[in-house]
Structure 1
Amino acid sequence: MPAEPDWNDFRIILALGRAGSLAGAAQLLKVDPSTVSRRLAAAETAFGAVLVVREGREFALTSEGRAAFAAAEAMGDAADQARAEVRGARETLDGVVRIACPPVAIRYLERFPETVASRHSGLGVELLSGRAPVNLSKGEADISIRAVRPTDMDLAVAHSFGLGSGVFAARSYLETHGWPATHADVAGHMLVRYAEPFLHMPPFRWIEQFAEPGASGVRVDSIDLAQHRIASGAGIGVLYCIAGDADDRLVRLFDESIDVIDANIVYHQSMRGSARLRAVLDLLIAFHIERRAALAGRES
């Protein structure tokens, strides 16, 4: 069964039709005339038709050849247009950049799209929230903020920063139950505890050491729900400092963070040449550097 025509077969017909001779086609393709002859023979085999009628050094396209030439021109024009559009998309500061991040980052990045728009009016930013990491290789997002440093060689870390966690309680809770002076004093207090999927992370496992064995209670499966329960007076719990410190209903019990994890701003290597990605990355990195103390849970 003969092979189906591919782009190389169309290219030889396109060159012959535009140049009008074997020598001219050879110049266009930067090969010698004998190579043009071999490629033409292969194209005719693939098409299953005679495409060119030769008369010495001159030739004429057959009806099948003219149909192949028209198709080749359309394909060439489409390729040129696609090339120009891709180059333009990479070089211009227009479009939307999607940033996938955990819910806590959605809070402190809420005004970040406005920052980008004030610097680059043609650029938009979409913040995508979720606990599961997105697949940058499949184009599910352009940038990802994640706690786990990537091992995929196609992913690059643009910036790393510390994300601190602290121990919080509602003012109303402290007025009723008292303020623990040390970590050890947390024992005996009502606690807001996280569900099993969170306990592999040291800051959310920290509170477990102060829980009474076999004590009944409610475990939460989201940081937002934990913050709601702590703020409502349900007990003492752990939150990211950047979230807890911004909540007027809450008090941080200890000045020092109990844990600081390394978070990473990640992008796919294939996007390295994108002007819009670079512009957003630069602003995103500057945003995190400016707030590095608050993110880590330090005063300054």
Structure 2
Amino acid sequence: MNWDDLRVFLAVARTESLTGAGQVLRMDPATVGRRVARLEEGLGRALFARSPRGYALTDLGVRLRDHAVQAEAALDAALEEGQGEAGLTGTIRIGAPDGCANFLLPQVVARLAEENPGLDIQVLAAPRVVNLSRREADLAITVSPPKTGRLTVQRITGYRLHLATHRDWAGGDPLALPLVGYIPDMIFDAELDYLGELGRERVARASNSVAVQLQMLRQGGAAGIVHDFALPFAPELVRVLTDRLSLERAFYLVRDAADRRSDRMNRLAEVLIAGLRAEVMRLERIAAGDQP
């Protein structure tokens, strides 16, 4: 068994399909299938249970995956030692909720790219939980710490949210305005369910995207919960009822536990956490009326 075979095996294990693995490896799915079959033939046992839903690992496949992930981390570490303290290189994909992806990561990524010109950075903005086991991303930012899986979880920073409406609002009770918020049956994390704290049940204008919600509020005639760090991007909006309604949530950085052995991933995590903390603080100061 050689590393190239293990690399193909890991791609199928993470994507649970030949097509997905082929996209990751830039290889024809039929070729991926032949490589998996050859590996299984050499072992004399099946690594995957095939079904119309895809490729699921057998017990042997799970054990081999764990060993392969460790070997992958060891290889990455060896390559990093050869690079010394040079700038970060290669490709990194960061998965994040779209609020973080739209209003925080562009500034953080710009500074990271400037300091590491050999690093290619991809941001996966997803209104759902990013699947690290399938390698949808190398790092994931979440609003709740995951409770299962072999993962490393670090708290990044807290952030604040307030009720906001258009500056042209005529006055009265802003909670009587139509409410902008998430599509109720598409809320992917309990921390994003604000209705109970608003004392409301109906969302008149809804989207699964925070960025779309912000644009809805900018049209006027409605109110909704907004991240303070997003308000500098929407000068038409103002916070209201700040003495009665103030929410706080947090971001967490999540990665595969095996990545703790990787100096490159540790350095990326450290820089990303510091950058996000600084950016949340900067934008919240602006939202509160302070100078940037």
* Bin for the TM-score computed over the shorter chain: 0.5 to 0.7
Change (3 A) 1:289 1:220: closer
Change (3 A) 1:83 1:115: closer
The aligned counterpart of 2:128 is 132
Change (3 A) 1:232 1:274: same
How far apart are residue 203 of structure 1 and its match?
Answer: 5.6
Amino acid across the alignment from 2:254: V
Change (3 A) 1:282 1:219: closer
SS at match of 2:211: helix
Do the aligned partners of 1:90 and 1:273 also contact (CA within 8 Å) in 2? Answer: no
The aligned counterpart of 1:192 is 180
Distance 2:204 2:193 in 1: 19
Based on CA coordinates, which of the two structures has the bigger radius of gyration?
1
The aligned counterpart of 2:150 is 154
How far apart are residue 88 of structure 1 and its match?
Answer: 4.7
Deviations 1:37-64 (A, max 9, x none): xxxxxxxxx9xxxxxxxxxxxxxxxxxx
Change (3 A) 1:245 1:168: farther
Unpaired runs of at least 5, structure 1: 1-5, 8-45, 47-81
Alignment of 1:76-155 (within 5 A): 86-91=76-81, 92=83, 93-107=88-102, 108-152=104-148, 154-155=150-151
184, 202, 205: which one pairs with 2:195? 205
SS at match of 1:192: strand
Deviations 1:216-265 (A, max 9, x none): 94433332222111100131111122113431121112446621112211
Alignment of 1:63-82 (within 5 A): none
Change (3 A) 1:218 1:120: closer
Distance 2:96 2:77 in 1: 28
The aligned counterpart of 1:234 is 221
- 2:253 paired with 1:265: yes
Amino acid across the alignment from 1:191: L
Amino acid across the alignment from 1:95: G
Distance 1:233 1:109 in 2: 27
Change (3 A) 1:273 1:121: farther
Q: How much is the aligned-residue C-alpha RMSD, in angstroms?
A: 3.3
Distance 2:228 2:251 in 1: 14
The aligned counterpart of 2:66 is none
Deviations 1:68-108 (A, max 9, x none): xxxxxxxxxxxxxx999645544443201111001111121
SS at match of 2:220: coil
The aligned counterpart of 1:248 is 235
Do the aligned partners of 2:177 and 2:222 also contact (CA within 8 Å) in 1? Answer: yes
Deviations 1:265-295 (A, max 9, x none): 1111111122322222111111133245457
Normalised to the residue count of structure 1, the TM-score between the two structures is: 0.60
Normalised to the residue count of structure 2, the TM-score between the two structures is: 0.61
Distance 1:94 1:111 in 2: 19
Unpaired runs of at least 5, structure 2: 3-41, 43-71
Distance 2:203 2:271 in 1: 46
How far apart are residue 209 of structure 1 and its match?
Answer: 2.0
Distance 1:166 1:266 in 2: 26
